[in-house]
Amino acid sequence: MAGGVVVNNGGGKDYPGKLTMFVLFACIVAATGGLIFGYDIGISGGVTSMNPFLMKFFPAVYRKEQEAEKNQSNQYCKFDSPLLTMFTSSLYLAALVASFFASTVTRVAGRKWSMFGGGVTFLVGAALNGAAKNVLMLIIGRVLLGIGVGFANQSVPLYLSEMAPARLRGMLNIGFQLMVTIGILCANLINYGTAKIKGGWGWRVSLALAAVPAAIVAVGALFLPDTPNSLIDRGHTDAAKRMLRRVRGTDNIEEEYSDLVVASEESKLMTHPWRNILQRRYRPQLTMAIAIPFFQQLTGINVIMFYAPVLFKTLGFADDASLMSAVITGLVNVFATFVSIFTVDRLGRRKLFLQGGIQMLACQIVVGSLIGAKFGFSGVADIPKAYAAFVVLFICAYVAGFAWSWGPLGWLVPSEIFPLEIRSAGQSITVSVNMLFTFIIAQAFLPMLCHFKFILFFFFGAWVVIMTLFVSFFLPETKNVPIEEMVLVWKSHWYWCRFFRNEDVHVGADVEMPAAAAANGSKVDPAKLAY
Ligand code: BGC
């Protein structure tokens, strides 16, 4: 059982160990799992704004677009086609379902095999899409891509959070989101290039190139070591010990090892993670597994990620300039992610969430007002270049706010809060809620833009207010807390503490508690926990 606790900033104990090259390399390879997700997010918006693609698969949308251009008709409604949005969003439904299957593979076979399966399925989907002759082939290809994303997003964040030393978990886990943003940017750049291909087959190149990140993920996964947590859980205790020594770069791993064993023993008692996750003592984690991805999508980020070229076209940019603007938002997204990489383990998760939320809200208000002032409700206007550039500027500031808050933290926080026995199931819930709302927003955005017009920006702004308040009251700080000790953080929280009985908490049991914390029934000094 665990020894004395060193309460370090965020609470919990600090295990000995350093960042080894081995762990750094494993985390970089694993994080590439984010590439396939990102590539996909970035590619669809650009492809669906390419005329040859629309003419071949969605001729009705193409005609409507041409008419709108000729007649200067309502700009808010020109791309409203359920079939076109089905193309974009079919992937997310597939990912939603796949993540439940991935949960079992991740738990029983280990995290790396889920990643491998994800990469291979994505590869097949990319080939089908690149060779598509009809809408059906396109949609089947996207379903396969979706299955790949479901598996990767289920396993990669867990892998990273388990491999990383607690002090650097935020930084290493955000490698996943960094790869997501790099995937999006590469896709935007590729679209920018392929849109210029004269023969009208540029979209095929865009879709087929998804095979590159897929191959990276599949091959990379083959070389990955298993996490010590997963090895213990699958009964390979000696291998787990060796791995823990290797990833922590020290022989002094007994304390951490025994916490992992305790976690695994508890996990063994639990034969039905899906039923058990509904127990009262998991209520805080379950709430976060649902609320965090739900809120992440309700920031409205994917309106920009999927539809930036369409949106910029709506603002009156030419085809080329629209794709270019998408490249600019893509660049901002990548660079701003570094801000969270370097601050998340020092400032903590909550500060980033709160700052990012306020920044996004301010930008949404400005963008909504600027678009409303020009287009009004009629949707007919000629926007001067400088004015449109101003809108793009605030969209970039909004993207930056997201990129150092809800973007990375939307994956980091859920992956670090579940106890081992429900970790895999919990992560599946996070992935599916994320995918469900990505799907709903992808499907609903164009009709919503058509009906709500510029008010849509205020709609998402209102959600940002709600989620920022939610974080400030209900999300405890999790920085620096060892993953198998996380339960102590919930137990010391002003609201969530009511869901725990003393006998539910088996880590850090021989910890000496400060009087105030002990009186509170807590093993971590609550004074040191920043809420
Ligand atoms: C979200 C995606 C989003 C991306 C943007 C991810 O964290 O899950 O929905 O498109 O960030 O960078």
What secondary structure, in 3-state letters, does 189-235 show?
A: HHHHHHCCCCCCCHHHHHHHCCHHHHHHHHHHHHHCCCCHHHHHHCC
Give the integer Cα–Cα distance in Å for 53 and 65. 13
The residue-averaged pLDDT of 330-351 equals: 97
pLDDT exceeds cutoff 80 at 415: yes
Cβ of residue 333 lying under 6 Å from some atom of ligand 1: yes
Q: Residue 522: what pLDDT?
A: 38
Q: Residue 525: what pLDDT?
A: 44
Confidence of residue 368 (pLDDT cuts 50, 70, 90): very high
Listed ranges 96-110, 395-409, 417-431; the one with the highest mean pLDDT: 395-409
Residue 85 is encoded by which pair of tokens?
Answer: 């949005």
Cα 180 to averaged position of ligand 1 atoms, centre (Å): 7
Cβ of residue 356 lying under 6 Å from some atom of ligand 1: no
Q: Residue 400: what pLDDT?
A: 98
Cβ of residue 410 lying under 6 Å from some atom of ligand 1: yes
Total residue length of the chain = 531
Q: Whose CA is nearest to atom 9 of ligand 1?
A: 302
Cα 301 to averaged position of ligand 1 atoms, centre (Å): 7
Q: Residue 312: what pLDDT?
A: 77
Give the integer Cα–Cα distance in Å for 293 and 413. 10
Report which of 473, 529, 463, 469 is spatially closest to residue 496, judged by C-alpha positions: 473
Index of the ligand 1 atom closest to the CA of residue 403: 12
Residue 131 near residue 144 (C-beta atoms within 8 A) = no
Cα 40 to averaged position of ligand 1 atoms, centre (Å): 11
The residue-averaged pLDDT of 387-413 equals: 95
Q: Residue 511: what pLDDT?
A: 39
How far, rounded to the nearest angstrom, does the alpha carbon of residue 165 sit from its chain's CA centroid? 21
How far, rounded to the nearest angstrom, does the alpha carbon of residue 346 sit from its chain's CA centroid? 21
Give the integer Cα–Cα distance in Å for 428 and 158. 10
Tell me which amino acid residue 381 is: A
pLDDT exceeds cutoff 50 at 6: no
Least confident segment among 8-22, 249-263, 273-287, 375-389: 8-22
Selected residue with higher pLDDT from 40 and 311: 40
Residue 492 near residue 389 (C-beta atoms within 8 A) = no
Q: Whose CA is nearest to atom 10 of ligand 1?
A: 302
Cβ of residue 41 lying under 6 Å from some atom of ligand 1: yes
DSSP state of 225: P
Index of the ligand 1 atom closest to the CA of residue 411: 7
Q: Residue 109: what pLDDT?
A: 86
Report which of 190, 144, 176, 171 is spatially closest to residue 35, judged by C-alpha positions: 176
Cα 5 to averaged position of ligand 1 atoms, centre (Å): 36
pLDDT exceeds cutoff 60 at 495: yes
Residue 122 is encoded by which pair of tokens?
Answer: 């994505």
Compute how many other C-beta atoms are within 10 angstroms of the C-beta atom of residue 136: 9
Cα 83 to averaged position of ligand 1 atoms, centre (Å): 23
The residue-averaged pLDDT of 128-153 equals: 94
Index of the ligand 1 atom closest to the CA of residue 407: 7
Cα 407 to averaged position of ligand 1 atoms, centre (Å): 6
pLDDT exceeds cutoff 50 at 335: yes
In the chain, pLDDT over 70 holds for what percent of residues? 89
Least confident segment among 35-44, 198-207, 243-252, 369-378: 369-378
Tens digit of each residue's pLDDT (9 = 90 or more) over 180-212: 999 999 998 999 899 889 999 999 999 999 999
The residue-averaged pLDDT of 64-86 equals: 70
- Give me the phi and psi of 124, to 5 degrees please: -65, -40
The residue-averaged pLDDT of 439-455 equals: 83
Residue 232 near residue 260 (C-beta atoms within 8 A) = yes
pLDDT exceeds cutoff 60 at 524: no
C-alpha distances (whole Å) from 251 to each of 8, 226, 254 are 22, 18, 8
Cβ of residue 409 lying under 6 Å from some atom of ligand 1: no
pLDDT exceeds cutoff 70 at 222: yes
The residue-averaged pLDDT of 130-143 equals: 93
Cβ of residue 301 lying under 6 Å from some atom of ligand 1: yes
Residue 256 near residue 15 (C-beta atoms within 8 A) = yes
Q: For all residues of the chain together, what is the average pLDDT?
A: 86
Give the integer Cα–Cα distance in Å for 354 and 66. 43
Q: Residue 383: what pLDDT?
A: 75
In the chain, pLDDT over 90 holds for what percent of residues? 56
Index of the ligand 1 atom closest to the CA of residue 408: 7
Q: Residue 15: what pLDDT?
A: 76
Tens digit of each residue's pLDDT (9 = 90 or more) over 294-311: 999 999 999 888 777 767
pLDDT exceeds cutoff 70 at 59: yes
Confidence of residue 446 (pLDDT cuts 50, 70, 90): confident
Which of 91, 178, 298, 305 maximizes ligand 1 atoms within 8 Å of its Cβ, making it the mutation to test the pocket?
305
pLDDT exceeds cutoff 90 at 342: yes
Listed ranges 80-89, 352-361, 445-454; the one with the highest mean pLDDT: 352-361
pLDDT exceeds cutoff 80 at 380: no
Instruction: Say which residue the tokens 């823990």 belong to.
Output: 244
Q: Residue 227: what pLDDT?
A: 92
Least confident segment among 13-17, 336-340, 455-459, 466-470: 13-17
Selected residue with higher pLDDT from 83 and 340: 340
CA atoms within 13 A on the CB side of 196: 9
Residue 308 is encoded by which pair of tokens?
Answer: 């930036």
Confidence of residue 13 (pLDDT cuts 50, 70, 90): low
